[in-house]
Structure 1
């Protein structure tokens, strides 16, 4: 990977850790926050050890590829830490702790095995260094590397499952999309593990597959780190940057505008419905929920005032029938047809608020243009 870019990612990683530690200091000490802090610390260490001069400095005082091996172990620690965090977000505390312990034991065993194999079995790291500048590079092949990629693939699948499960119940825009970034990062990590395994295997079988030995693995590594850091930072800063409010306004404003045709038909007939006529078609940015609620109330008030002019023979129907009924009542009123006793055509109002909103939007869309 491009070294200046890697240094930038390292700086962002340590900044993300500082931000998470600040939250921890401010009292957000739930198990999920603690695990996220540990995961960020491990991934910051892992990417720091990938910087060329850091790797060279560590290897110069130890043995070749010590930095890479520690980076691999830290990556596994980061992955299991993230998975434990998500488990605490989607499961009860005791169940999350039990599930987390099994994953921790499994990952600890993988780390111990990697370190043992690194110190007792050979690798081709010297050949890797000799071909660093070539377009077709030599993959690091060792027993420890095989254990690492297999463990990473398993943990990546676990992260995808738990992060996606939490995303389905997340209630904030920045949290949902931060978790989506985590899922995509885990997917890239899984692809990295699979392709690195394939690269090592084809090398040992003396099969030339150039694209497995080019820049693809480095790019996947970079995508993984960037997506994971976005997943860490976005939920933390989204609310402070106003992203959650903007997303909420955007969603509510879409419903507000969908209701406009129905609201306008009724408001044109009964201008007194709205005490404060909106200046435009968009909901108030500061209080979009209030604007939507007021529009719904005004629609039902208008429907109530229009009720005496509804066709007495009409029966409740679907949204299209309701739209036709309202349009016909407006014509009857404008044509001077005498009002009925007001007992025809009940308003068919759903009890559930979400169903009520869906119903009114469907009626609004079905109105004759």
Structure 2
């Protein structure tokens, strides 16, 4: 039970995160497919809640079970679409197959007796041909779509360069293998009951177990690259925020000397950056660039004698503030590394000395 709750929470977090990313990049087709898959999977546990089932079934007995099956079929479709979008494969046939399977499932459910509509995939309904067609169409399509998705996940796992992505694809492939096994088992149980009159309870239990294990592994595989990426980004975000604050004395001194130092920037509404993560990175880079521009503008005021970088900057700022005449420009101090973060670490030490 705890595992299901954790999986549900992870699904909703992942779905909301991908939907927000899709809002920022609506033309990203692979992202659209991932968002659709996670959204469908996140809805399924909600549709299984007793209050929700009672509310939906008020509009028609068994409607909640029908929606659960439609959502799982849609999740399979979007998962396959992700891989096909990634390789720019044609989606026409897969879309026709998906819509056709949905039409069969909805049509046979509408035509079924009321008792079958309540539990269309249960063993108690298995002696009715409506239940057999419902199960074979819904679960059979899922096995087909998941089988193609597993093939692509295995191929991508072999060539992926990022360790996190490779691990996620492997977990996804194993999860899909469990799900496909469960789907095949469920179809066999339905056909066995329809043609031999045998309600194979052990086979149905195997189906449930495979779906549970496969769903957990699938969620882990989908979420693993994103979660590890977010965890790896936390130290970077903390450093950018800390560096931005520690650069304040140096930036303020240069800004007072050159009021036009500040760059113009676009102010994003809070809903475009609710956690202020992007703004933190943007402010970090902007402050580093503005300080570098200020150090260059101090060129005519640096002392000719070689001094420590901090002393040279202090002397140049004092000369500028005193209205000293500008002399020939001198190169700005350069003691950082070749990349921006190394340069910023040196600027932080310079800012501390000024403070």
Q: Shorter-chain TM-score: what band?
A: 0.5 to 0.7
TM-score, normalised on structure 2? 0.58
Q: Within the alignment, does 1:118 sit opposite 2:109 as a pair?
A: yes
Change (3 A) 1:103 1:127: closer
TM-score, normalised on structure 1? 0.55
**Contact 2:15-2:39 within 8 A present in 1 as well:** yes
Give the superposition deviation at 1:88.
Answer: 2.4
Q: Which consecutive unaligned segments of at least 5 residues does structure 1 have?
A: 244-369
| Structure with the larger helix share | 2
1:218-266 alpha-carbon deviations (Å, 9 max, x no partner) = 22222222122112211112223249xxxxxxxxxxxxxxxxxxxxxxx
1:81 is matched with: 78
Give the superposition deviation at 1:106.
Answer: 0.9
Give the superposition deviation at 1:72.
Answer: 1.1
Matches within 5 A, 1:127-276: 138=124, 141-204=131-194, 205-207=196-198, 209-214=200-205, 216-242=206-232
**Contact 2:53-2:64 within 8 A present in 1 as well:** yes
Q: Report the aligned-residue RMSD.
A: 2.8
Aligned length: 228
1:33 is matched with: 31
SS in 2 for 1:203: helix
**Contact 1:121-1:143 within 8 A present in 2 as well:** no
1:154-188 alpha-carbon deviations (Å, 9 max, x no partner) = 11111111222222221111111111122122212
Q: Show structure 1 runs of 4+ deviating over 6 A.
A: none
**Contact 2:65-2:118 within 8 A present in 1 as well:** no
SS in 2 for 1:240: helix
Change (3 A) 1:79 1:127: closer
Change (3 A) 1:119 1:128: closer
**Contact 1:114-1:147 within 8 A present in 2 as well:** yes
CA distance in 2, matches of 1:79, 1:127: 23
1:50 is matched with: 48
SS in 2 for 1:239: helix
CA distance in 2, matches of 1:174, 1:28: 25
